[in-house]
Amino acid sequence: MEIEQLADEDCHINNGARKILLGKYEMGRLIGQGTFAKVYRGRNLATQENVAIKVLHKDQKWNDGLLHTQCGTPAYVAPEVLRKKGYDGAKADTWSCGVILFVLLSGHLPFRNENPMRMYVKILKAEYKFPPWISMDAERLISKLLVVDPEKRITIPEIRANSWFRKGLAQSTVSANDSEDDGNGAGSEDPEEFPGRTGIKALTAFFQCF
C-alpha cells in the first residue's frame, strides 16, 4: 500500500494511545526508510493480515519534469546531480560523455582526488587540466561538454556537427581488417587529431553512441 503524506484526520486516539488509521488499515511501527519514503508495518483491520505501508515524503514528490535521484559513478556525475536540486538526464549524460572522452584521450580522469569531497568540489567548479598530447580541437569539444551550467552545455546535435567529432566518426568506420593491417592497431588514425593513449579503436564506441 502506498500513500502521499499523512493527514491529521488519519490519526485517532484509542484507549489513550495514538493510532493511525488509513481506511481499513492500521499503521504500526516504522520498519524502514529511504530517500523518498518511509515504510511502516500495517494491519488490515478486516482480515488481520499484516501489510507494509509506504508513506511518500511530500517534499520528494516531484512534478517539475526533472530527475532527483543521485546515481552514477562519482567521478563521472554532472555538477547538477551533486547539487540535489533536480537535473535533466540528457544534459547530465552529456557531461558524463565529456568525462569519458577526456579519459579515452588522456588515460586518466579529469577530476581526481583521494578525498571524495575534494573531488566533488573540482566537479562543481569544472576544475581540470588537459595533458599536452590532446589536440586543440578535442580540447574545445571537451570544454563544451564539461560546462557546469547544463543550460550552456553543448547539445547532442551540436556535438554531431562538431568538426573534430565528424572527423573521428568518419575514421571510426574504418574496418577492423584495415586497422590490423597497420601492425600497431592504429589503422588510419590521424596522430595529430587522436594523439591520446587509446587509439581509434577505443574511441569508436564513443563516436557511434551519438
Percentage of the chain modeled with pLDDT above 90: 38
Read off the pLDDT of each residue in 11-22 and give the average, rounded to a whole number: 55
Q: Is the Cα torsion angle 104, 155, 204, 192 positive or negative in sign?
A: negative
Q: Are 128 and 110 in contact (CB under 8 A)?
A: yes
Nearest to 141 by CA among 75, 193, 187: 193
Q: Domain total for the chain? A: 2
Host domain of residue 38: 2-60
Last residue of a domain, one of 36, 60, 84: 60
| Alpha carbon separation from 94 to 13, 148, 192 (Å, rounded) | 54, 11, 25
In a domain, 67, yes or no: no
Give a yes or no: residue 178 inside a domain: yes
Residues 92 and 143 in one domain: yes
Looking at 41-55, 93-107, 144-158, which range is the least confident one?
A: 41-55
The yes-or-no verdict on residue 135 having pLDDT over 80 is: yes
Instruction: Write down the H helix ranges in the chain.
Output: 79-83, 89-106, 116-125, 136-145, 156-161, 163-171, 176-181, 200-208
Q: Which amino acid is at 18?
A: R
Whichever domain contains 181, its CATH number is 1.10.510.10
Residues 107 and 202 in one domain: yes
Establish if 66 belongs to a structural domain. no
Q: Give, to the nearest 10 degrees, the angle between helix 163-171 and helix 200-208.
A: 110
**54 labelled binding-site residue:** yes
Task: Tell me how crowded residue 46 is: count the other CB atoms within 10 A of its CB.
Answer: 9
Q: What is the pLDDT of residue 185?
A: 42
Mark whether 35 and 86 lie in a shared domain. Answer: no
pLDDT at position 177 = 40
- Residues contacting 78, CB < 8 A, separation 6+: 87, 91, 92, 94, 95, 96, 123, 150
Residue 190: per-residue pLDDT: 47
CA separation, residue 106 to residues 56, 175, 194, 203 (Å)? 44, 24, 10, 12
- Note if the pTM is more than 0.85: no
Q: Please report which confidence band the pLDDT of residue 19 belongs to, taking 50, 70 and 90 as the band edges.
A: low
Pick the range with the lowest mean pLDDT from 1-15, 70-84, 106-120.
Answer: 1-15
